[in-house]
Structure 1
């Protein structure tokens, strides 16, 4: 189906049996029909009796566009509300910290005792980037970027 979109020319009418044959979602369908419109190609769905060459068909697609925009706004609103609720429950997003607690205390003590960062990485099985990011996060004074 998507390949047929490459072969249409201005003045053509792309005919599908059902809307779901053209797009995966309402927003995807609208993007395709908008692309067709930009190429001056009409669209017609036989099952839903939709035809963008008629004023009523064009109006219906405008309504679909408004519904898709409303749906996107609702989804965004729900995502934000979910993140706020999770924060209130103490859930912090992102990946768990790789170095914490006793291991972190031991690493800081080793660095304070003069062990090199390379040796700490080898001995504690920590990647250099992880070590540096952790030291910056905890504000270790020997690490550039720490406050």
Structure 2
């Protein structure tokens, strides 16, 4: 994409719609009002915000240079979560790239905008702390109930004994797997080769 040059750097716009049925016109209108030329816009169609890789966003992040400004309709267009948005904005800010979110009224070139970004980073760290605490509490509760993390076991001890008996009698591993309704890998894992 061609970028326009101004005295204070380029103004690049990013637009994302999650499904093909969503209309991106409102985002284009916001970028029109913010002075972002159509040829300086990067658009991801039908790409969920939960996806790590978004082709147009990745291309824009590769193209943006220090002094440029990234303009979005809302901050949730560029990130998967508060923590992801804060990390991305911190990275861009450290690279000397400005952020403007038209719908959120955020502009990182202003003192108020800088303060809002710092608050966003604080909330993102708080969100990460809450997630860690919930995960730790959930694991502790599961352990107290005798459960452990990971995938549930496919074969119980009775199934393991049956598998071993069949294997000791000379049955093939694929045949044992079909008989017991488990995978061959499970049969190998729960049995020892017959002597």
Structure 1-normalised TM-score? 0.69
The change in CA–CA distance for 1:33 and 1:104 in structure 2 (over 3 A counts) is closer
Among 100, 106, 120, the residue aligned to 1:50: 106
SS of residue matched to 2:134: helix
Does 1:121 find its partner at 2:177?
no
Q: Pick from 69, 83, 88 the counterpart of residue 32 of structure 1.
A: 88
2:159 to 103, 107, 110: 103
Taking a change above 3 Å as real, the CA distance of residues 131 and 60 of structure 1, as seen in their structure-2 partners, is same
Give the alignment's Cα RMSD to 1 decimal.
2.9
Name the CA distance, whole Å, in 1 between partners of 2:96 and 2:153.
54
The higher-RCO structure (CA 8 Å, 6+ apart) is 2
Q: CA deviation at 1:67?
A: 1.3
* TM-score when normalising by structure 2: 0.55
Q: Highest CA radius of gyration, 1 or 2?
A: 1
Q: 1:62 to 1:124 in 2, by over 3 A?
A: closer
Structure whose residues are more often helix by fraction: 1
Using the TM superposition, give the Cα deviation of residue 61 of structure 1 relative to its aligned residue in structure 2, in angstroms: 0.9
- Name the CA distance, whole Å, in 2 between partners of 1:124 and 1:14: 56
Q: Post-superposition shift, 1:87?
A: 1.9
Tell me the secondary structure at the aligned position of residue 83 of structure 2: helix
Q: Which residue of 2 aligns with 1:92?
A: 148
Q: How many residues align?
A: 135
CA distance in 2, matches of 1:21, 1:99: 45
Q: 1:35 to 1:111 in 2, by over 3 A?
A: same
1:101 Cα deviation from its structure 2 partner: 4.1
**Counterpart-to-counterpart distance in 1, 2:151 and 2:80:** 31
Could you list the runs of 5+ residues in structure 2 that have no partner in the other structure?
1-13, 16-41, 44-56
Which segments of 5 or more consecutive residues in structure 1 lack a partner in the other structure?
A: none
- Structure having the higher strand fraction is 2
